[in-house]
Structure 1
Amino acid sequence: MRISEVIRRKGDRVVTVSRGASVADLIEMLVEHRIGAAVVIDASGAVEGIVSERDVVLALRHAGPATREVTVGEIMTADVMTCVPEDDTETLARTMTEKRVRHLPVVVDGRLAGIVSIGDIVKQRLDELQLERDELVSYVQR
């Protein structure tokens, strides 16, 4: 299965933030949308970074409550691992697990086109396994 299928099923809506936003604004955004990460994009829609709950927690550990005044650009992960719609979900599941990455922006022609989480990948795989199971049961019952 390809990432394009995951995006087709879940939609291509991505919550984004600018690098100049405050961490306080980021926290509100994450809570409002009930998500674990936001993609940092520039004015052209190119991915500049990703910022997650983990980044906020690490910043809190170092700066304490003053973290809320820090900008997203100061705590984001700038070396972002991305994928393309043609990527295989099984390969990405392995990569995400090995690299301990929970969110991957999907990029097409240098621009953000979606995002997939490890949960999206697991759900896709479970759906595939259920379909295979149903087909095998159907075959055996003939």
Structure 2
Amino acid sequence: MRISDVLNGKSIKEVITVPPDAPVRDLVDLLTEHNVGALVVSHDGQALDGIVSERDVVRRLASDPDLLTHSVRTIMTTDVHTCETTQSLEDLMLLMTQRRIRHVPVVEDGGLVGIISIGDVVKNRIQELEFERDQLDSYVHQS
């Protein structure tokens, strides 16, 4: 299975982004509004400037109570691991496991086309296992 297949199966295809100069409070509002765990940081909605997650907010908030007034750029990760639509889901699972990351932006021809979360990966894997189970069950009961 390819990353493009996972993207096509997502109910929400839009990638929510936040500008790097936005206050962290706006980031938190967007995370809540869209019920997501991370946002791509982008100055124009297409370029990949960074990524920021709920974890980034929580970890910094403990040491900086004024964090919500700072800009997103102060907590975003700039060394972002990405994948391409043609890559296999297995390669993405390996990347997520090795790097201990839960959100990976998907790029194609240098532009942002999606984001895959660990939840998307798990959902897809469950669907694959259910399909295999149903096929085996059908085979066993035909004999």
Same-fold call, TM > 0.5?
Answer: yes
| 1:131 matches 2:131 | yes
User: What is the aligned partner in structure 2 of residue 34 from structure 1?
Assistant: 35
Match of 1:118 in 2: 118
**Counterpart AA for 1:50:** I
Matched, 1:59 2:77: no
Among all aligned residue pairs of Structure 1 and Structure 2, give the percentage whose two residues are the same amino acid: 50
Where in structure 2 are the equivalents of 1:1-142 lying within 5 Å? 1-10=1-10, 11-43=12-44, 45-64=46-65, 66-142=66-142
Unaligned runs of 5+ in 1: none
CA distance in 2, matches of 1:13, 1:43: 14
TM-score (norm 1): 0.95
Alpha-carbon offset, residue 80 of structure 1: 0.4
In structure 1, what is the Cα distance between the partners aligned to 2:45 and 2:67?
A: 28
Contact 2:17-2:45 at 8 Å conserved across structures: no
Q: Distance in 1 between matches of 2:120 and 2:80?
A: 18
Structure 1 residue 95: deviation in Å? 1.6
CA RMSD of aligned residues (A): 1.1
Contact 2:82 2:106 in 1 (8 A): yes
> Which structure 2 segments of 5+ residues have no match?
none
How many residues are matched? Answer: 141
In the TM superposition, structure 1's runs of 4+ consecutive aligned residues that sit over 2 Å from their partners are none
